[in-house]
Structure 1
Amino acid sequence: MAAVATTTGRDRDFEFDFGAYLESARQRVEAALDGSLGPERPESLREAMRYSLLAGGKRLRPILCLAACELAGGEAELAMPTAVALEMIHTMSLIHDDLPAMDNDDLRRGRPTNHKVYGEANAILAGDALLTRAFEMVARRSPGVPAERLLAVVGELSLAAGAPGLVGGQVVDLECEGKEVDLETLEYIHLHKTGALLRACVLCGAHIAGAGDALLAGLGTYARGIGLAFQIIDDILDVTASSEVLGKTAGKDLTADKTTYPKLLGLEESRQRADALVAEAKAALAPFADAGEGQARVAPLLALADYITSRDR
């Protein structure tokens, strides 16, 4: 991946090697994930948890957390347990979404879904175990972070994982299958099912660093933009990419008769909508991107926003 030249400061362009940053951050996250489990008993539970948690992927959610922490002036390593917790919650949501009673999928990240390997009951329990382990990561495995900051993180994770976030979005998504859905309802689903966790990623990272209200508000706007843009691109790829490229079943939204952005807006207008949302997200961080150190801190989040609309899987 080529270096990305991002204009963020008032005085000059700042060149940022996003490819190198992304790979370095991904490797650090993978190492932290690998060390986060154990010794769960029985061993079959640990195997099921590790199967999905360590199945690869872009690791954008934990990387967003680390980048937001650094933007707020914190050390990324202090946010790593929280970044791992966010990936655990994300993995839980994938395991549960793939179940026959939910989205009923057989393929995830290029491999059989968890319930296809370990059975439905064990998949449900593995997801439950990952969700609860996430809160342990924050509360008991985050040395050096003040308790009041960890409490703020726990609050954000609770909102993102519960009825106000993932669960509520999934319920509305299921209720709308086979029905005519307007754009407002579609965006409600995705702001909760996808966007809530992305919002938690950036806000949790910022809380770890003790960010002020102005930055938290800017990051909230940024997260809303990239959350919707991410889902729009997902909807587009579900139509245009193959299962081999995606690592999951292509065309499943069409099969389930779900309303998607391309179905409502068409492919071209959907792409334009995603681009506009990314522009809004990046604009929200502009006040924090003055020349010098501010540019270096904000560059990863700006590049991640661009990456969302340029990805092909």
Structure 2
Amino acid sequence: MPAPLKVLAGRADDALARALPAADLAPVELHRAMRYAVLGGGKRLRPLLVYAAGHALGCDDGILDAPACAVEIIHAYSLVHDDLPAMDDDDLRRGRPTCHIAFGEAMAILAGDALQALAFEILSTPYTADDDASARIAMLRTLGAACGAEGMAGGQAFDLSAVGTTLSLEELERMHAYKTGALIRASVRLGALAAGCRDDTVLDRLDRYGHAVGLAFQVRDDILDIEGESAIIGKTAGKDAAADKPTFPSIIGLDASRTRLFALVDDALEAIAPLGPGSEWLAELARYSAYRGH
């Protein structure tokens, strides 16, 4: 990852640490669990997409901090709940015990609930006295839609019902467009909205980019589940196969999955090409999503 993006990832970490409740603030165990879930590492892809989209449209990083924090906090809450015994039942996340292993199942559920609420509180808070309320409402609507039945929650429902079944490639891509892709598309759109973009052509191009990057991210995840090592990828390798979950390699094979991955990166880069040199960070993130090692 290029140095400027690493700097932005550090900026996101700092903003998240400030946005979360202090660990010594009552109720202490809940706040410790929330900080554990959010600050325990991670690629910070979603906040980076917020910053990169805003940068492409000339937006100041200070304006982008709030949507960057909000989308990453939503992502963290989703991981806490996805790891629960009733969901994916995983013990390892980002190379550490999952939140429910570290704090207990009840506290992990509450931490996820509180994180979701905090994300919308952050995003709804005006940045300045003359803040554009219509832009903030559009951002709230974007993030809300990405979380719900036609976003992450719907994708997880598809995922749970797909265990042990055979899906078509179209069905698999629909599931992941909801479960993983919706929040990635929202990240890109949040950056554009925060930058004041109201150009439907530009927003459509960014949505196309986000769709391609979201699917590429998932295809790479599925490949890493086969080829990766738990110590490197930070979660249990081989978990999808053991759980009999449909994946891109299980449906179209490993070689075809790699071919699909390359095509998705090409589509993402083609979508943002008209944005010019300012879209360089978006291009780097598309490549990173597809070729990362963890």
Aligned residue among 30, 53, 64 for 2:38: 53
Please show how residues 1-313 of structure 1 align to structure 2 within 5 Å.
19-39=2-22, 41-140=26-125, 142-143=127-128, 145-211=131-197, 212-289=199-276, 295=277, 297-313=278-294
Q: Helix, strand or coil for the counterpart of 1:230?
A: helix
| Farther off after superposition, 189-198 or 176-185 | 176-185
Q: Which consecutive unaligned segments of at least 5 residues does structure 1 have?
A: 1-17, 290-294
The residue type paired with residue 257 of structure 1 is D
- TM-score, reference length from structure 2: 0.96
Q: Helix, strand or coil for the counterpart of 1:99?
A: coil
Q: 1 CA distance for matches of 2:127 and 2:118? A: 13
Deviations 1:37-59 (A, max 9, x none): 12553111100000010001110
The residue type paired with residue 167 of structure 1 is A
Q: 2 CA distance for matches of 1:103 and 1:44? A: 24
Structure 1 segments (4+ residues) deviating >6 Å: none
Q: 1 CA distance for matches of 2:20 and 2:77? A: 14
Q: 2 CA distance for matches of 1:49 and 1:145? A: 29
The residue type paired with residue 244 of structure 1 is A
Match of 1:4 in 2: none
Q: Which consecutive unaligned segments of at least 5 residues does structure 2 have?
A: none
Cα deviation for residue 169 of structure 1 reads 0.4
The residue type paired with residue 215 of structure 1 is V
Match of 1:13 in 2: none
CA-based RMSD of the aligned residues comes to 1.1
Cα deviation for residue 141 of structure 1 reads 5.5
- Answer yes or no: is the 8 Å Cα contact 1:239–1:251 preserved in 2: yes
Deviations 1:91-138 (A, max 9, x none): 001000000000000000000000001111110110010000000111
Identity of aligned residues (%): 47
| Farther off after superposition, 72-81 or 152-161 | 72-81
- Answer yes or no: is the 8 Å Cα contact 1:67–1:76 preserved in 2: no
The residue type paired with residue 97 of structure 2 is P
Cα deviation for residue 73 of structure 1 reads 2.0
The residue type paired with residue 148 of structure 2 is G
The residue type paired with residue 293 of structure 2 is D
> Whose helix fraction is larger, Structure 1's or Structure 2's?
2
The size of the alignment, in residue pairs, is: 290
Cα deviation for residue 266 of structure 1 reads 1.1
- TM-score, reference length from structure 1: 0.91
Cα deviation for residue 71 of structure 1 reads 1.1
